Every structure is written in structure tokens, then in C-alpha cells.
A = this chain, B = another copy of it.
Amino acid sequence: MKRTEDFIIEYIGDLFSSPFIGDDCAVIDNRIITKDIFIMGTHFPEELPLYYAGWRSFAGALSDIAAMGGKPEYFFIGIAGESGEVIKELVKGVSELARIYGVELAGGDTVFSMLAVLSFTIVGKAEKPIMRRGARPGDYVYVTGDLGGSRAGLELFLSGERATEKFIKPLPRIKEGIELVEKYNITSMIDISDGLLRDAERISRINGVSINLAGEAIPINQDAMYYCKERGLHPVVFSVNSGEEYELLFTSPDDIKEDYVTRIGEVGEGVGINLDNKPVSPEGFEHFREGK
């Protein structure tokens, strides 16, 4: 799904020849703006209670603001649903998260559709917006929080078990993004929406650098660890391919010590992602598996 998105974004970029395409937000004057669309069946399972669908979707959009080190100020919402009740439930999840983060609704658009769709535009402020471009060889690679919890939660939910908090109520790293930018020299940043490997690949490609990760350093979510152990899955392989984590992946030459940050690798010459010195790709991952 997302691979094709990269292709189409390239196509759209060509068609419009826009310099903006490719970052989490566009920067217009001192404002950062992001737009995101979420569709039932594609971005969240049909069985997920609509309250959580609203929450998760808005969290995903807010996470793009976090990825620039920005503070969300206003948001616009477009909601489609098959009834007023559906729309109301979706809105409830959104409004709770809006209250937590102090984001003000600036406009709304609702339509009826058999398929639930949520679309957000968020306007934020960033004194010094951090882009995906900027990582340099020698920088360290860091990640906030831990990984794998979102995927474990989704799989547990789909199998009828209790989903994890991280899956049903993810909290975007707004506060952390702002703090990191204030305290350290952050050279590039992205939020993990498509999995650590895929998002690291984006940083690698746009900067023409390699991202060299240490498997044992990657912080694994406790629920994911338990889930993998029960099923005989490799927790690192599982977690670096877990999407919609909404953690921040960033690079910095600084030695960062914060309780919510883990150093997981270094930026190097060349292009590509290496895990324990072996090239890996988000799709196949064969080399790593074979080596274990």
C-alpha cells in the first residue's frame, strides 16, 4: 500500500513540480501544515470501535506535527460515515485527543458515505521546523519510546483478544518533539508510521546516507515482547516492521540522554539500512532471518 504511495507521490510531485512534497508537513511562513486521510478497512479495521478509530486517526495526523518538532494549534476535520451516529462516535475520539493536546477546531466538513473516512488538516507552529533532510554521516540515530506495541495490539485485536493501549489509544510525541528540538541539535526527524525500517529507508534515501542499526539496542514494547515469545516470533524483526507506532525517529550529532529516547544506531556513508551490519529491506528481510 505505502510502496505504491511513494510511487504516486512521486508522480503527483512531477505533475505539479512542487518543492514541498516529501516531508511530514509543509512549511508556509512560520506555520507548518499537514494533511492526512484515513479510511476504514485500509487504516483501521472495520471491527474497531469508532471512538478508537477517531482517536487513532487523529493521533496519526498529529504525529506529523510532532515529527517537525511543532506545536499543533488548529485543525480541520472532514468526516464521512453512513449515519450521524457513526460520525458522532468518530468525532468523540477525535475531540478527546484534541482536548489533551489543546488543539482548536477551525473547520469541519461532514458527508454521508457507506465507508467511514476521516481527513485532517492540522496547522501548527515550529520555531525551527525539523525536516527529513539533514542527517549526516557520523550522526547518531535515535528513537522515542518503544516499538512493536502497535502491531501486537492490532494482531491481538483482530484475533479477538484484548488490544494494547498503544494500539487503541496511541499518544503522538508532541511534547517530546518540541523538547528535543529546544535542547539538542536534531538534524533530521520523521515519525514512524510505516515501520522503523521503511521510515529509516526514507531518511536514508533523501539524505544519501546509510542508517546502521544495532538490533539489541532497539527498544521493544513489553506487549510485543510477550506476543512474540508466545508465538515464537523474533521480537526485533516483528517490531522494526510495526507501523503506526507514532514514535519519532531522528538523527543528531549530540549525545542525547532522555528517559524516553534510545540510541539505536549511527548514520554512515552509502545508502541503505543495515541491521547488525547486514543490509535489510522492509519487504523481504530474508538476510536477517537466515542469519538468525
Q: Which residues of B contact A155 (CB under 8 A)?
A: none
Chain A residues near B (Cβ < 8 Å): 1, 4-5, 7-9, 11-13, 15-16, 18, 20-21, 23, 25-26, 28, 31, 33-39, 41-43, 73-74, 76-80, 84, 87-88, 91-92, 95, 98, 104-115, 117, 119, 121, 123
In Å, the complex CA distance between A26 and B103 comes to 14
Q: Which residues of B contact A36 (CB under 8 A)?
A: 78, 109
Does the CB pair A16–B111 fall under 8 Å?
Answer: no
Closest chain-B Cβ to A35's Cβ sits at a distance in Å of 4
Q: Which residues of B contact A4 (CB under 8 A)?
A: 84, 110, 112
Q: Which residues of B contact A31 (CB under 8 A)?
A: 28, 31
Closest chain-B Cβ to A120's Cβ sits at a distance in Å of 9
In Å, the complex CA distance between A78 and B114 comes to 18
Q: Which residues of B contact A43 (CB under 8 A)?
A: 111
Q: Which residues of B contact A37 (CB under 8 A)?
A: 78-80, 109, 111, 117, 119
Does the CB pair A113–B112 fall under 8 Å?
Answer: no
In Å, the complex CA distance between A42 and B113 comes to 7
Closest chain-B Cβ to A109's Cβ sits at a distance in Å of 5
Q: Which residue of B lies closest to A92 (CB)?
A: B15
Closest chain-B Cβ to A104's Cβ sits at a distance in Å of 6
Q: State which of B1, B25, B74, B110 has its C-beta within 8 Å of the C-beta of A112.
A: B1
- Most B CB atoms within 10 A — which of A15, A43, A105, A108? A108
Q: Which residue of B lies closest to A41 (CB)?
A: B113
In Å, the complex CA distance between A147 and B145 comes to 57
Q: List 14 A-B contacts (CB under 8 A).
A: A5-B109, A8-B87, A15-B92, A20-B74, A20-B106, A26-B106, A28-B73, A33-B106, A35-B77, A37-B80, A39-B80, A80-B117, A115-B115, A121-B121
* Extra pairs beyond A8-B87, A20-B104, A20-B107 (11, CB < 8 Å): A4-B110, A8-B88, A18-B106, A21-B105, A23-B107, A33-B76, A37-B80, A42-B112, A114-B115, A115-B115, A119-B119
Does the CB pair A11–B98 fall under 8 Å?
Answer: no
Does the CB pair B78–A21 fall under 8 Å?
Answer: no
In Å, the complex CA distance between A91 and B9 comes to 11
Q: State which of B7, B21, B39, B79 has its C-beta within 8 Å of the C-beta of A111.
A: B39
Closest chain-B Cβ to A119's Cβ sits at a distance in Å of 4
Closest chain-B Cβ to A82's Cβ sits at a distance in Å of 11
In Å, the complex CA distance between A9 and B4 comes to 35
Q: Which residue of B lies closest to A80 (CB)?
A: B39
Does the CB pair B78–A35 fall under 8 Å?
Answer: yes
Q: State which of B8, B114, B117, B121 has its C-beta within 8 Å of the C-beta of A33.
A: B121
In Å, the complex CA distance between A110 and B13 comes to 12
